[in-house]
Amino acid sequence: MLGLFLAADGKPLPHYSKSKSESALSRFLNTYKWPTRKLIRHVRQQAIEQVNSHCPLGRKAFLQVIVDLTTLEKCGQFKAFKNLITVYNGKRGLHIVVLYLVVGQWRIPWNFRVWRGKGTASPSQIALRMVRHLPKDLTKRFRVKILADTAFGTKDFINNIRKLKYHAVIGIGSK
pLDDT in tens, 87-146: 777 777 778 889 999 887 788 888 888 888 788 888 889 999 999 999 988 888 888 999
The residue segments making up the domain with residue 84 are: 31-170
**Mean pLDDT in residue range 20-40:** 73
At 19 the pLDDT is: 67
Confidence of residue 10 (pLDDT cuts 50, 70, 90): low
Asked if residue 23 is part of any domain, the answer here is no
Asked if residue 12 is part of any domain, the answer here is no
Query: How many domains, the chain?
Result: 1
Report pTM: 0.71
Asked if residue 6 is part of any domain, the answer here is no
Confidence of residue 17 (pLDDT cuts 50, 70, 90): confident
Show the 3-state SS of 139-172: HHHCEEEEEECHHHCCHHHHHHHHHCCCEEEECC
